[in-house]
Amino acid sequence: MENVLYLVIPCYNEEEVLPETSTRLQKKMTDLIGRKKIDQKSRIIFVNDGSKDKTWKLIEELHQKDKIFGGINLSRNRGHQNALLAGLMTVKEHADMVISMDADLQDDIKAIDEMVDKYLDGTDIVYGVRSSRQKDTFFKKATAEGFYKMMNAMGANTVFNHADYRLMSRRALEGLAQYGEVNLFLRGVVPMIGYNTDVVYYERGERFAGESKYPVGKMLTLAVEGVTSLSTKPIRMITGLGFFIFIVSIGMLIYSLVRHFIGATIVGWTTLMVSVWAIGGLILLSLGVVGEYIGKIYLETKARPRFIIEQFLNDEKE
Ligand code: UDP
Ligand code: MG
């Protein structure tokens, strides 16, 4: 068996980090090839997610200079998850194992060695897990960890403190390819594939250039997308809430009747106002949640393509 490794790196407006990232990764790959851990035909593939800057031009230049670099150009910006998926699905026929990572190398590339070793020992999926977040700001740390906790509470089981830095074998990728959903949330779906899995711990560093393309707003959207595409727990929670309110209303009924017969019926304007607003708000919120799911169904029935590839640059010769 050959051990061809492909790195897949989604890039959105990353002209500032690409030169440094490509140099570091090239060194890492040459080292691994030299030590016969991976095959000569291993490649570094950058996925350009519709960048507005010179990212794609830089990728083309890298590819011309050294065939270890390849590129996938998406027809437009589709977001990190789709760009990653596009990369994985495109390279899976060429590689025996694929590692996905971010362009800013916040995820320590030293972990690649360990991931490859685990693959060679027969592991199909190796998750990169952040051992600490010392380099992240307090705000980023709090929002990011809150993100994982909320996801799990809502029924979307993900690996804690694991983003999309992971190794997948070819057969794991073939498993992933069978999940045909349009709203694919990788971190939730990958653990469903099964096979032998393992984790590798690493320290998360700082972004060395450029700025984060994942502000809080996008992270919240990702969390909602993740939850609604993985589980129906929120709907079940609404049912539970409805049941609870029904029980309360029986209490209220008895209370009102008692008040009526005592003859003190005028008081209670405040209670009435409060409950009208509270129940109204709850109903709207519940409708919204149910609507989210209906929206998902609508999008799924359309079965639109998750990405469109404009160009794939890859030199497969030795
Ligand atoms: N990214 C992408 N498309 C987008 C937004 C981000 O491909 O629409 C890529 C980005 O280039 C980077 C990765 O997703 O390689 C993670 O983004 P970033 O480092 O900005 O997120 P953070 O580390 O701050 O959470
Ligand atoms: Mg980053």
Q: Which tens digits make up the pLDDT trace of 231-269?
A: 777 888 888 888 888 888 888 888 888 887 887 666 677
Q: Are 186 and 163 in contact (CB under 8 A)?
A: no
Ligand having the closest approach to the CA of 11 = 1
d(Cα 126, Cα 129) in Å, to the nearest integer? 9
77 lines ligand 1 (CB under 6 A): yes
5 to 47, 68, 184: CA distances (angstroms): 16, 11, 24
Please tell me if the CB atom of residue 213 comes closer than 6 angstroms to any atom of ligand 1. Answer: yes
> What does the pLDDT read at residue 133?
66
Note the pLDDT of residue 26.
93
CB neighbourhood size of 272 (10 A): 10
Distance from the Cα of residue 138 to its chain's centroid: 21
Tell me how far the alpha carbon of residue 201 lies from the centroid of ligand 1, in angstroms.
Answer: 21
Q: Is the model's pLDDT at 1 over the cut of 80?
A: no
Model confidence band, residue 184 (pLDDT cutoffs 50, 70, 90): confident
Q: Which protein residue's CA is at the shortest distance from atom 23 of ligand 1?
A: 212
Q: State the pTM of this model.
A: 0.77
How large a percentage of the chain has pLDDT more than 90? 41
- Ligand 1 centre to CA of 156 (Å) is 22
**Mean per-residue pLDDT for 174-197?**
88
Q: What is the pLDDT of residues 142-153, one digit of tens each?
A: 877 887 788 778
Q: Which residue owns the Cα nearest ligand 1 atom 24?
A: 212
pLDDT, tens digit, 9 for 90 and up, residues 18-69: 999 999 999 999 999 999 889 989 999 999 999 999 999 999 999 999 999 9
Specify the higher pLDDT residue, 228 or 88: 88
Smallest CA separation from ligand 1 atom 16, residue: 102
**∠ at Cα 36 (41, 18), nearest 5°?**
55
Structure tokens at 312: 């794939």
CA 291 to ligand 1 center in whole angstroms: 29
Q: Tell me the H-state helices in 122-232.
A: 138-153, 170-177, 186-193, 216-230
Q: Mean of the pLDDT values across residues 181-205?
A: 87
User: Ligand 1, residues 214, 222, 225: which to mutate, most atoms within 8 A of Cβ?
Assistant: 214
Answer whether 189's CB lies under 8 Å from 160's CB.
no
For all residues of the chain together, what is the average pLDDT? 86
- DSSP secondary structure of 213-256: S--HHHHHHHHHHHHHHH--HHHHHHHHHHHHHHHHHHHHHHHH
